[in-house]
Amino acid sequence: MKLRFKQAGKEDLNEALAYFKAASLALREKNLSQWHYWDQPPEDKISWVKQGFEKGEFFFVYNQKDQKVGLFRLLDTDTLYWNERGLEHNTRYVHSLVISRNETGKGLGKSILQKLRDQLKKNGISKFRLDCDASNKRLCKYYEDFGFIKAGEKKTQYAVNNLYEMFL
């Protein structure tokens, strides 16, 4: 599957928030509580997203027809979830990976992760990390089946998250 990543601009903030809200609704339909806060996002979550846009960390995903099909955030450091380990060199962190509702179930998540993994490895990055709401067992298994290894847990005010990493 041919995909293209394009850095999101500050003007795309509201579209990103709409992606998160749609994902929250889709998860609720599956009786999952993950991302419930995106229905009416609290200020700290909005601020976190704004910071990512200001730093150029958000990317839209386009398919071979040049249609927007997803969104993710890629960080150089992540102390919010990984504490001091989140400052390790040659490590990247993916957050907020969202697939458009009409594109789910087509293998896009796996294709996005593969493309990210390959690009990071090519650029000399040695670790690829992410976190996942521990209550979403199916998604945790998805990341483990992809090759991520559970490296710990982090409790936040919103959830208990499994921390995953992959050595490249």
- pLDDT the model gives residue 36: 85
* 81 is a domain residue: yes
* 49 is a domain residue: yes
How many structural domains is the chain composed of? 1
Among the residue ranges 4-8, 68-72, 103-107, the one predicted with the least confidence is 103-107
* 87 is a domain residue: yes
Q: Label residue 144 by pLDDT band (50, 70, 90).
A: very high
- Rounded mean pLDDT of 22-36? 86
- 136, 97 Cβ separation under 8 angstroms: no
- Where would I find the beta strands (DSSP E) of the chain? 4-7, 58-62, 68-75, 91-99, 127-133, 149-155, 160-167
For residue 27, pLDDT over 90 is answered with no
Residue percentage of the chain with pLDDT more than 70: 100
* 168 is a domain residue: no
* 166 is a domain residue: no
* 165 is a domain residue: no
- Rounded mean pLDDT of 10-32? 90
* 145 is a domain residue: no
Strand 91-99 relative to strand 127-133: parallel, antiparallel, unpaired?
parallel
Q: Which residues contact 107 (CB under 8 A, 6 or more apart)?
A: 1
Strand 68-75 relative to strand 91-99: parallel, antiparallel, unpaired?
antiparallel
Q: pTM of the full predicted structure? A: 0.93
pLDDT (tens digit, 9 = 90+) per residue, 70-97? 999 999 999 999 999 999 999 999 999 9
Give the bridge partners for 6, in sequence order: 60
* 16 is a domain residue: yes
- pLDDT the model gives residue 139: 94
Give me the chain's average pLDDT, please: 94
CATH code: domain of residue 48 = 3.40.630.30
Question: Can you give the residue range of the structural domain that contains 57?
Answer: 4-127
